[in-house]
Amino acid sequence: MYNIMMNKFIFVSGGVCSSLGKGVAASSLGALLEGRGLNVRMVKCDPYINVDAGTMNPYQHGEVYVTDDGAETDLDIGNYERFTQGKLGKANSVTTGQIYKSVIEKEREGRFLGRTIQVIPHITDEIKARIMAVAKEEPDTDVVIVEIGGTVGDIESVPFLEAARQIIHEQGRGNAISVHLTLIPEVAGAELKTKPTQHSVKAMQEQGIQPDVLICRSPVMLDEATRRKIAGFTNVDFEAIFVSYNVETTIYEIPLVFYEQKLDLIVLKKMGVESRHANLKPWKTMMEHFRARKGKARIGIVGKYMELHDAYKSVYESLFHASLDCGIEVELIKIDSSTLEDAGVEAILGKDNNFAVDGILVPGGFGSRGIGGMVRAANWARINGVPYFGICLGMQIMVIEWARSIIKWEDADSTEFNESTKHPVISLLEEQLDVTQMGATMRLGRSASVLRQGSKIFSAYGEKLIYERHRHRYEFSNKYRVEMTGSGLIIGSLTQDSALVESIEWPDHIWGLGVQFHPEFKSKPTAAHPLFRAFIEAVKTNLKL
Ligand code: GLN
């Protein structure tokens, strides 16, 4: 398509404060460049010392995102996957922990021949090698967008910024550029302040990087005079100052907001890439769907990390994607499952009561807190014909509820919550019994499931063989397959070797389906996931909308 002799690099950094939407800005730029026909790969550099996000508490850090190849990453990788098409995996998530681990391993192997190991050049070389590896992994890669986590000025970010500086210097301007995100805060009501941006760019310059493009996060669009002023004190061209203002619609409108300001054109110009027609049709169609939605469904998410929105980010996003596809608004009702433990469930979930939900989703989770409440929610949904979608733990809950209520094994449980139960309907696989190390030891990443014709899951996907991502230790216990199916529970899919149960369904119910995998990692705003779509369709049918 393009005859680019070498890969181009775009480093996206941030200043002033965190949570400016650097991930969304980087992903939106990726989407725009893809719209121009370029092959884009995204990389996240995380300055924390954890090797990966797998062992991090969702309360502190948000969800753990899982890629096809089983990397447990930061939720930014999820943003990349929702906005862009390029392959993402272990190579695309770089942490300080990984970098140090591999440098120290090399040192122990004697590969540095007795030299003193230092941040510069050894740590920075390792970072550069990781970035270059992504650029070379797929031969058709045109552009690598590298997001540097943290804020310029943080101690932890320095080696990453230094690696970026070296790549920009070595590749030459035009082959590697810097896009810097800053904040234009509003002070005393209405006054927009540019000073923090000035300081932030200065901090970049002190690291030896002159930003080529600035994206200013501001409550409103900035007028020309303000943008000229910013250009004046930052050495950034006036035409390369962009504004990421608050959108009232959805974050998925950001690519279009940037497109209107010609961000992609300026970035292409700075990289010396000839411009071509922009195809943003999928994004424009998505916004048309957004505006055309009619009616509303209330979906109760019954889980344990309810206070932090990021803890179930991909689940919430997937419900939103399905709402676009189904032409209906979805209101998220976040219910801490422990509140369902003692109160009457009907009093909380039922019609004319506190939440009055039209559908229930029980997402993934670990540990025993709040499990009783989830089982009650599943029971309520099954008995009252309310659509229920169980994801990973949410499917295990369905199995436990079925065994307790229908087969009357009152102590039926997962051995994760009760090791001594007489009916361990969910249990560990043999190979998990001896695992003591917590990081990256679960069943992780992409695997195939074979769907049973005539099942609800088959009609959602419309095909027999599907690939989804896993992240769990416990499984449906095979020794109970006969009793479970004999009492009516439907096994909708199995692994290819039939060894593991991948999904179950309630019989004679509008839509009660649980999957052992995580479909939420594969949903996109421009292509809703078939299971989320089928769930919301069932809710819509139930509501007669
Ligand atoms: N705790 C359960 C397991 O390890 C479920 C995990 C999940 O929901 N991701 O199997």
Six-digit token string for 309 = 């929105």
Q: Which of 204, 256, 231, 153 minimizes the C-alpha distance to 11?
A: 204
306 in the same domain as 213: no
Q: Residue 304 domain-assigned?
A: yes
How many structural domains are present in the chain? 2
Q: Residue 432 domain-assigned?
A: yes
Q: How many CB atoms lie within 10 A of CB 207?
A: 18
Is ligand 1 within 6 A of the CB of residue 364? yes
- Of 55-59, 179-183, 297-301, least confident by mean pLDDT is 55-59
309 in the same domain as 161: no
Residue 3: the pLDDT is 43
Q: Residue 278 domain-assigned?
A: yes
Task: Give the pLDDT confidence of 394-438 residue by residue, as tens digits.
Answer: 999 999 999 999 999 999 999 999 999 999 999 987 655 555 555
Six-digit token string for 126 = 């390792």
Is ligand 1 within 6 A of the CB of residue 369? no
Q: Residue 401 domain-assigned?
A: yes
Q: Residue 2 domain-assigned?
A: no
Instruction: Give the C-alpha separation, 117 to 107, whole Å.
Output: 8
| Three-class HEC string of 52-101 | CHHHCCHHHHCCCEECCCCCEECHHHHHHHHHCCCCCCHHHEEEHHHHHH
Question: Distance of CA 217 to CAs 19, 184, 209, Å?
Answer: 10, 6, 20
Q: How many CB atoms lie within 10 A of CB 94?
A: 26
Catalytic residue among 122, 470, 509, 518: 518
Instruction: Give the C-alpha separation, 39 to 30, whole Å.
Output: 9
Six-digit token string for 378 = 């599943």
Residue 436: the pLDDT is 54
pLDDT band at 5 (very low <50, low <70, confident <90, very high): very low
Ligand 1 centroid to Cα of residue 291, in Å, is: 36
Is ligand 1 within 6 A of the CB of residue 394? no
Q: Which of 525, 30, 85, 461 minimizes the C-alpha distance to 289?
A: 525
For residues 527 and 286, is the Cβ–Cβ distance under 8 A? no
Is ligand 1 within 6 A of the CB of residue 142? no
> Which CATH number do you get for residue 422?
3.40.50.880
Going by alpha carbons, the residue nearest to atom 7 of ligand 1 is 364
Q: Report the amino acid identity of residue 233.
A: F
For residues 39 and 86, is the Cβ–Cβ distance under 8 A? yes
Q: Is-catalytic flag, 537?
A: no
Catalytic residue among 392, 416, 505, 529: 392
Ligand 1 centroid to Cα of residue 232, in Å, is: 53
234 in the same domain as 311: no
Ligand 1 centroid to Cα of residue 442, in Å, is: 9
Instruction: Give the C-alpha separation, 58 to 102, whole Å.
Output: 26
Q: Residue 139 domain-assigned?
A: yes
Q: How many CB atoms lie within 10 A of CB 222?
A: 20
pLDDT band at 275 (very low <50, low <70, confident <90, very high): confident
Task: Give the pLDDT confidence of 42-96 residue by residue, as tens digits.
Answer: 999 999 888 877 777 777 778 999 999 999 988 899 999 999 999 899 999 999 9
> Which CATH number do you get for residue 264?
3.40.50.300
134 in the same domain as 168: yes
155 in the same domain as 201: yes
Ranges of H-type helices in 261-344: 263-270, 281-292, 313-326
Q: Which of 161-165, 302-306, 441-445 is predicted most confidently?
A: 161-165
Residue 218: the pLDDT is 94
Q: Is the pLDDT at 343 greater than 80, yes or no?
A: no
Catalytic residue among 34, 81, 317, 520: 520
494 in the same domain as 367: yes
Q: Which of 315, 305, 302, 311 minimizes the C-alpha distance to 378?
A: 302
Owning domain of residue 406 = 293-542
Q: Is-catalytic flag, 518?
A: yes
Q: Residue 3 domain-assigned?
A: no
The alpha carbon of 418 is separated from its chain's Cα centroid by a whole number of angstroms, namely 31
Kindly give the pairing relationship between strand 359-362 and strand 388-391: parallel
* Residues pairing with 242 in the sheet: 215
Is ligand 1 within 6 A of the CB of residue 365? yes
456 in the same domain as 357: yes
Cite the beta strand spans of 117-167 per DSSP E.
Answer: 143-148
- Provide the whole-model pTM: 0.92
483 in the same domain as 465: yes
Is ligand 1 within 6 A of the CB of residue 540? no
Residue 2: the pLDDT is 43
For residues 357 and 299, is the Cβ–Cβ distance under 8 A? yes
329 in the same domain as 258: no
Q: Residue 120 domain-assigned?
A: yes
Is ligand 1 within 6 A of the CB of residue 474? yes
CA-only gyration radius of the chain, Å: 25
Which of 268, 285, 302 is the last residue before a domain boundary? 285
Ligand 1 centroid to Cα of residue 443, in Å, is: 10
Q: Is-catalytic flag, 289?
A: no
Ligand 1 centroid to Cα of residue 365, in Å, is: 5
Task: Give the pLDDT confidence of 431-460 residue by residue, as tens digits.
Answer: 555 555 555 568 899 999 999 999 999 999
Instruction: Return the ∠ at Cα 100 (arms to 95 and 102), rounded to 5°.
Output: 100
Residue 476: the pLDDT is 96
Which of 229, 260, 285 is the last residue before a domain boundary? 285
Which of 285, 313, 333 is the last residue before a domain boundary? 285
By most ligand atoms within 8 Å of CB, the mutation choice from 302, 304, 389, 396 for ligand 1 is: 396
329 in the same domain as 200: no
Kindly give the pairing relationship between strand 359-362 and strand 296-303: parallel
421 in the same domain as 382: yes
426 in the same domain as 317: yes
